[in-house]
Amino acid sequence: MKSGSRHIVLILVAALIIALAGTLYLTADRIAIYAISRTCNIAIAYGTMKSESLRRFDFTDFLLTDKKTGVGLLAKTAVVKPLWNDILAGKMAIDFKLTDVSFIKKHDEKQDDFETFEGLAALPFSSQWTYLHLSGALETSNGDIHLQDLKAESDVIKFTVTGDFRSDADIDSDITVYFSDALFAKIPKKYIKGVLKDEGDGWQSFSMKIKGNYKSPSIQVTGRQFRLNIGVSP
């Protein structure tokens, strides 16, 4: 190849690299979102997004949906921060803070159940609530998800979750639900002694460990003074 031809090729290659680098820089935020959604098998939609050099993503009208179940959540605003130390170690990890959050379901929900342990455990995830704040940290690797210090707060109900949700459908999670006086009045008196704990300021709590496989016939739920197996439909 003649010298002039080599120079033209080098210039074209350099221009291509610059164009590619510019494209990656301008779309890096969307690439990161695509990586998170693919790794966690979730769909992510939003109204607007701003990013700060991949250190922080600010969303409005943030919608997250699990692709398998159709269950998801909708938030007025969301701040997501990648945890780069964990990411560089081979894990997808984020810290998140959401406001005005409500859960959404693909199918019609059953009526809220205050009469059973199963109903009390499921109550925080009803779509009727709007949580003022929801925050925590999530890391995922090889399809396994670990939630750390997930906290959700509303005027009438709150909950915290820490635990593992594995790709083989195994669950090992600690959950505490807090009921305000407004909901406490609906809970049968048999749960008050030994099961519900008085937290003061008009709040009662219900703590449990959920362990098992949601594709198997039952999940074990253990509290301070009870243990039961909950049947789960495949």
Q: Locate the domains of the chain by residue range.
A: 41-231
- Scanning the structure block, which residue is given the tokens 């008050």? 192
The mean pLDDT value for 93-115 works out to: 80
Q: What are phi and psi of 144, to 5 degrees?
A: -85, 140
Q: Per-residue pLDDT tens for 23-51?
A: 334 445 666 666 666 666 678 888 988 88
Contact status, residue 44 vs residue 68, Cβ threshold 8 Å:
no
Q: Per-residue pLDDT tens for 209-232?
A: 887 777 664 555 555 555 655 554
Neighbours of 73 (CB within 10 A): 20
Q: What is the pLDDT of residue 226?
A: 57
Contact status, residue 154 vs residue 130, Cβ threshold 8 Å:
yes
pTM, rounded to two decimals? 0.73
Distances (CA, A) of 3 to 12, 168, 185: 14, 60, 87
Q: What is the pLDDT of residue 182?
A: 83
The mean pLDDT value for 142-151 works out to: 84
